[in-house]
A and B are shown apart, each in its own frame.
Chain A
Amino acid sequence: KAGVTQTPRYLIKTRGQQVTLSCSPISGHRSVSWYQQTPGQGLQFLFEYFSETQRNKGNFPGRFSGRQFSNSRSEMNVSTLELGDSALYLCASSTGQGPHEQYFGPGTRLTVT
């Protein structure tokens, strides 16, 4: 099976701009979760989509949003970028049926200048 893929891998944006990140899950996986990873903060959960519906949400401001398509691919959008949004954004897919292994993508490194 092909693994989880994310595009783009690297992104440089200016404060105030917006950005869209994409994640393609493992075939057959219906759950896609997004995480923000910064040094010292570990993996902070953003939100989870299952069958095109947001099923869980973390404690991030409304500037962070996402969606999932019928083929389970997911996008994450960040509007009005701030310097503090610079991070590695990881998506992870799973079957979505109960607590199970999360399969992570390689991440998108976002730098906000």
Chain B
Amino acid sequence: GENVEQHPSTLSVQEGDSAVIKCTYSDSASNYFPWYKQELGKRPQLIIDIRSNVGEKKDQRIAVTLNKTAKHFSLHITETQPEDSAVYFCAFHPGGSYIPTFGRGTSLIVHP
């Protein structure tokens, strides 16, 4: 079936550093790529998404880039803060499906 590979599984950075998480997907027909953040003990929540008609989208300290040719998209967090510590999931919608396929998640730890 369709899947998405997410790397790294764990990322440890110092406060103020940048963090990058990369996902590679399998279905070239996908056109919607969301990122979800799940803090410890809480529900996943959308933090940013991108559609295939743009290559980059920014929202304050977070940005997502999309390379449709290479079938990968990345989450960039600049000036990380301890409250950015969480598990981040990428997702894509194979063939425009209503249902997202999620990556396995990246545990980001930001050390003060």
Contact = CB atoms under 8 A, between A and B. Distances in A.
A56 B99 CA distance: 8
B30 to A, nearest CB: 8
Per DSSP, are chain B's interface residues mostly helix, strand or loop, or mixed? loop
Contacts of A42: 89, 102-105
A43 B96 contact: no
Contact of B44 (A43, A48, A56): A43
A102 interface: yes
Nearest to B45: A104
Contact of B97 (A40, A90, A99, A106): A99
A33 B99 contact: yes
A41 interface: yes
B99 A45 contact: yes
A50 B98 CA distance: 10
Given A99-B31, A101-B34, A101-B49, A106 B99 contact: no
Interface string B78-101: 000000000001000100111111
A31 interface: yes
B104 A96 contact: no
A90 B100 contact: no
Contacts of B31: 99
Nearest to A102: B100
Contacts of A33: 99
B32 to A, nearest CB: 4
B89 A43 contact: yes
B100 A99 contact: yes
Interface of A: 31, 33, 40-43, 45, 48, 50, 55-56, 90, 94, 96, 98-102, 104-107
